[in-house]
Structure 1
């Protein structure tokens, strides 16, 4: 029974988790807007969601969990990979800066706002799923 509930909510739960991670990456870009040689990063949300859903599917290969920062992550992590294996990509340069920084604040703010709105839409979708389940349990409409 609990497995079916997990399966029912898995998509929106996974999407919200990725939206949260993307918001952190975008916030980092904004925070480093004046850092020389900083390269703006982002997540390819569609590919990351597909990968995360594949990993979350029952029967998928389990990854090792680490208990301390000194442990080697699984899979091996580099500068282009987040701790959970989500791939980071460099954002294309719209207008280069003399100091080598590739952050375009207008692009970053727009992406940040878009991601926040999509996060709120995900919350609304989960609330609707829970209301539908409650109605089914209570026998109401």
Structure 2
């Protein structure tokens, strides 16, 4: 029995995404002066749109077949932008864009943490009997 339904799982997946995005942005910033380095990005919307567009409902017809539900696919992908070059050394990291993305991601991450804390505080209130 789950007290929160899928809320905690959704928050956990969202925190994983925000953490991966933060790591990717930090990697881009640290390689801003590396020759021929190409910026990476974490995409969530593309995976979501592909999932929503398709009407995919797999069915396992034999116990020897691979189970569709056993593996958890990442809800995001990491892509490399190879189509642009901003610097004379072949690098395409735009430091201003990366710093903006970092600030937005930090706000998003903090909002998720606050929401998760609220859920656990609600549970704690129930356990204490409303006190």
User: Does TM-score exceed 0.5, indicating one fold?
Assistant: yes
Q: Deviating runs (4+, > 4 A) in structure 1? A: 3-6, 47-51
Pairing 1:62-77 to 2, within 5 Å after superposition: 62-63=70-71
1:77-121 CA distance string (max 9 Å, x none)? xxxxxxx5842123474x721111000110011111111111111
Structure 2 partner of 1:136: 126
Structure with max Cα Rg:
2
CA–CA distance in structure 2, aligned partners of residues 12 and 99 of structure 1: 40
Structure 1 partner of 2:107: 117
Deviation at 1:133, TM superposition (A): 1.8
Structure 2 partner of 1:10: 9
Task: State whether residues 43 and 78 of structure 2, in contact with CA within 8 Å, keep that contact through their aligned partners in structure 1.
Answer: yes
Structure 2 partner of 1:44: 43
Deviation at 1:129, TM superposition (A): 0.8
The change in CA–CA distance for 1:28 and 1:111 in structure 2 (over 3 A counts) is same
Paired residue total: 114
CA RMSD in angstroms, aligned pairs only? 3.0
The change in CA–CA distance for 1:37 and 1:11 in structure 2 (over 3 A counts) is same
